[in-house]
Chain A
Amino acid sequence: MNPFSSGTRLRDMIRAIRACKTAAEERAVVRKECAAIRAAINENDQDYRHRNLAKLMFIHMLGYPTHFGQMECLKLIASPGFPEKRIGYLGLMLLLDERQEVLMLVTNSVKQDLNHTNQYIVGLALCALGNICSAEMARDLAPEVERLLQFRDPNIRKKAALCSIRIIKKVPDLAENFINPVAALLKEKHHGVLITGIQLCTDLCKVSSEALEYFRKKCTDGLVRTLRDLVNSPYAPEYDIAGITDPFLHIRLLKLLRVLGQGDADASDAMNDILAQVATKTESNKNAGNAILYECVETIMSIEDNGGLRVLAINILGRFLSNRDNNIRYVALNMLMRAITVDAQAVQRHRATILECVKDSDASIRKRALELVYLLVNESNVKPLTKELVDYLEVSDQDFKGDLTAKICSIIEKFSPEKIWYIDQMLKVLTEAGNFVKDEVWHALVVVISNASDLHGYTVRALFRALQTTAEQESLVRVAVWCIGEYGDLLVNNAGMLNVEDPITVTESDAVDVVESAIKRHTSDLTTKSMALIALLKLSSRFPSCSGRIKDIVVQHKGSLVLELQQRSLEFNSIIEKHQNIRSALVERMPVLDEASFGGRRASSLPNTVSTSNGTAVKLPNGVAKPSAAPLVDLLDLSDDVPAPSSSGGDFLQDLLGVDLAPATQSGTSQAPKAGTDVLLDLLSIGSNPAQDNSVSTPDILSSAQDHKPAIASLDVLAAPSLTQASSSTASNMMDLLDGFAPAPPKPANNGTAYPSIVAFESSSLRLTFNFSKQPGNPQTTMISGTFTNLSSNVFTDFVFQAAVPKFLQLHLDPASGNSLPASGNGTITQSLKVTNSQHGKKPLVMRLRIAYKVDGKDVLEEGQINNFPRDL
């Protein structure tokens, strides 16, 4: 043995690292240690292997790379003694995770250890397996673990039970092997075994309906008895926490009973008495007791209805809600959210308390309470609740304002009883927190304002007033500028005065002042400035006396470095100067935007809203031809990997105003009109649909053109994912009809949710369809089976398919079924993919793909991006 290779003791190393004053010093110490450890590894030094691994673990915790030590773990695990194995398994769990290939190498050692004569070594192996096993290891080692469920020592049985949980989570198919051994565990007296057995049983029920049925029939009564014995058990010091015997066991029993009782009246009946007993007898002065009550309430809420019990549960929550402990209040809010589907009336009773929680100093509680308030709002209480929330908006923290604003806006839109109230509340929100208001929200406000013809005057005056007090909120400025542009005349002559208003005197030049300050404000962005320019153009016609001044303001931007502003400035200037005769017709008031179609499009773009393929198209008046053209182009677009034309919220409004002359890319209009003032009128009607109603008059032609343009442009902004999805599903159905050899529509996955198959990629020579399925209990993971069909008359050889996904997704590709693809659809290649979406429910799947193959010895490369996945994958 080389005395110099041993290095320092673990303790000394830790001391040396702790003595470091700077990060650089620490790095130096670690570097030196790592070098020594590497040297020892290279020399295959056995005596200090365990010490070196311990050092590596410490270094790993500090965040330094330690991959070179991974093989040392395996060597230690393979050595015969308990101490080496103990540290080896610890290193394995710490330094590796299930995704590393190295892990496969350890399977054999683990298998041997699971069969070891020393039960403590068996325990080590079970623990490691339970913490990091992969699906492959789970398959290989499940029989051993299953056998160990009947081991003589209870400490092994409990470890085996938890290890089994990991196994069935990784490979749900294995669940049925565990049903019988688990039933035996439920009869045990040893608390550890009972706790783990019950947990395993709960997880089995989640992955296998067969298991659920079995346990429901055979074990419900036994579990109820166990819980009763536990509740009535005398003081047991070993398990006592705050006067309660083993709350952990209590909670697990209640959880399993919940699973068994859900959807089954008989099972629910059997547990009613004991649940009532737990709910009434449990002491609630300590955390442990409250944890049990909390679990009990959840079980009562979930099992089949029993009126009396539910009242009891709601009362417990009411008590929780008035508790002074923040933790208890937090869980009460959490549970009330689930209770709202069961008994909304009972939850409404606590409305005032919940509203107070929105103002709590604790961010976690505020967030919970806000979610709950959102669910509590209905037609009858929307006014007072909104008032409270808006008032609170004034004083709330900056970092809470975003959430709060979004929720308030959503409430206002959803429940507004009348337009004036809607406008009033939105103005308040814009004034308080306009910077947090999302684009689509103020777009919607503009649509509503334009529809409320009797409120135009009122609104524009209110906005003018609001702008006098605050000009810091971007979206307030935008809405105000838009309204002043449209309804400037009403502002000045106080037209359409409502009784509730105080009259104000605004001169024409005051109105122009406001718009001018908006355009000059250095914080204004492009959208605001563009809108201000349009407003000025409109005012130049409405206020002839200010025309000269407006021209001066407009002209100031003719040298703007921003193309958009420069162009607007020049064009508007020439309209004001040279085209007096058409100006008034040009800048007439915006035609009323169609609220229904706007709402429909928005709804289809909002998450959580299921849109049907025809729902979107039908709601667009005159627009049927257009939206169907868009997906067509979309499908074609897939072949060339061009990102969808990006369009900001600004485009939407420019389109809304009809002055943005750039043709919407999807419209399919072949002429690309050049923007120029002289053809302005013609241009505005270019987008108009030939199929449109003939009765519309000139301004309405404008309107229909505009109506389409926002429709299409905003498809990008708002509705892109849902519409492509919708269209692609119809598209793929059509494919199926047209194509004899296209794959049959997918069988719905066994969890009952069917996802439409999609044509993921299509070029002139190749088509790829995706079928989706999901494993029950694992909504994040989607199994995709891709089928490639050759549409050309040449055989493809050396066929390689590659795919890439963004970071929030995890992709696993199985080997393809072949690498040559017969011509003319006379055969297919199939390839399965597994995608795990870590942002499931928040972000849809996307994927880029690259397909390489050879035709007649020539390399062909095709690339594409798939954006048309069904939304909820």
Chain B
Amino acid sequence: MIHFVLLISRQGKVRLTKWYSPYSQKERSKVIRELSGIVLNRGPKLCNFVEWRGHRVVYRRYAGLYFCMCIDEADNELEVLDIIHHFVEILDRYFGSVCELDLIFNFHKAYYILDEVLIAGEFQESSKRTIIRLLSTHDSMVEMAKEEATSIGNMIAQVTK
């Protein structure tokens, strides 16, 4: 299973963290500090796996962002690379050629997307189309609720005028 997902920028800034195993806040910041030190310092031609505290961290760099996932020793590292890529492709489709700024200003959306890819540290859906469709349904529900709220607000405003 995947224990946690980290997105770290090349400057060491955290862009997304998701913990599927229990880590206390203190442990979390320690993990982030340790791992960003290890991952950011690895050379470009090396393999994408790092052994770390009895687990294995699979990372992959996209532009200035490192996507890291921590897995068990017995898991399939190569598949996790594909899971990362799958996630990135969905981000790309959703945002339309995604960049780091999208993930900063719409960080909550990145989380929503991740929640459609992984639950409980396990892989959920292999069809990108299904995920995009689900996300746009969610978004339109939010839009509808907003419109409703403003129209009710307008009605109240008119009545109380």
Q: Which residues of A contact B (CB under 8 A)?
A: 11, 14, 18, 54, 57-58, 61-63, 65, 81-83, 86-87, 90, 93-94, 97-99, 120, 126-127, 130-131, 155, 158-159, 162-163, 165-166, 191-192, 195-196, 199, 238-239, 241, 246-249, 251-252, 255, 287-288, 290-291, 294-295, 326-331, 334, 361-365, 367-368, 842
Contacts and interface: CB of A to CB of B under 8 A. Distances in A.
A82 B82 contact: no
- Majority-rule SS of A interface residues: helix
Interface in B81-101: 81-83, 86
A247 B112 contact: no
A165 B118 CA distance: 12
A130 B77 CA distance: 23
B46 interface: yes
A163 B142 CA distance: 25
Contacts of B81: 287, 291, 327
Contacts of B47: 326-327, 329-330, 362, 364-365
B76 A83 contact: no
B124 A247 contact: no
Contacts of A162: 119-120, 122, 124
A249 B126 contact: yes
8 nearest CB pairs, A to B: A326-B47, A291-B78, A162-B119, A130-B119, A130-B120, A166-B120, A192-B125, A362-B46
A170 to B, nearest CB: 10
Contacts of A238: 127-130
B123 A248 contact: yes
Interface residues of B, number: 54
A295 B78 CA distance: 9
A191 B122 contact: no
A747 B131 CA distance: 50
A199 B141 contact: no
Interface of B: 14-20, 22-25, 29, 43, 45-51, 54, 76-79, 81-83, 86, 104-105, 107-108, 111-112, 115, 119-120, 122-130, 134, 137-138, 141-142, 145-146
A295 B112 contact: no
Nearest to B115: A127
A255 B81 CA distance: 17
B14 A61 contact: yes
B47 to A, nearest CB: 4
A158 B125 contact: yes
A847 to B, nearest CB: 20
Contacts of A367: 51
B146 A99 contact: no
28 contacts: A11-B105, A18-B104, A54-B108, A82-B138, A82-B142, A86-B138, A90-B112, A97-B19, A97-B24, A98-B22, A99-B24, A126-B119, A130-B119, A162-B119, A162-B124, A165-B120, A195-B123, A196-B122, A196-B123, A238-B127, A241-B86, A248-B126, A251-B76, A287-B82, A291-B82, A326-B48, A361-B43, A364-B50
Nearest to B104: A14
Given A248-B82, A294-B76, A362-B47, A63 B108 contact: no
Nearest to A254: B76
Given A248-B82, A291-B76, A364 B51 contact: yes
B122 A165 contact: yes
B124 to A, nearest CB: 6
A509 B78 CA distance: 64
A68 to B, nearest CB: 14
B119 A192 contact: no
A130 B100 CA distance: 28
Nearest to A119: B137
Contacts of B123: 195-196, 199, 248, 252
A537 B160 CA distance: 105
A195 B83 CA distance: 13
B146 to A, nearest CB: 7
B122 A239 contact: no
A416 to B, nearest CB: 29
A167 to B, nearest CB: 9
A539 to B, nearest CB: 48
Contact of B17 (A61, A120, A165, A326): A61
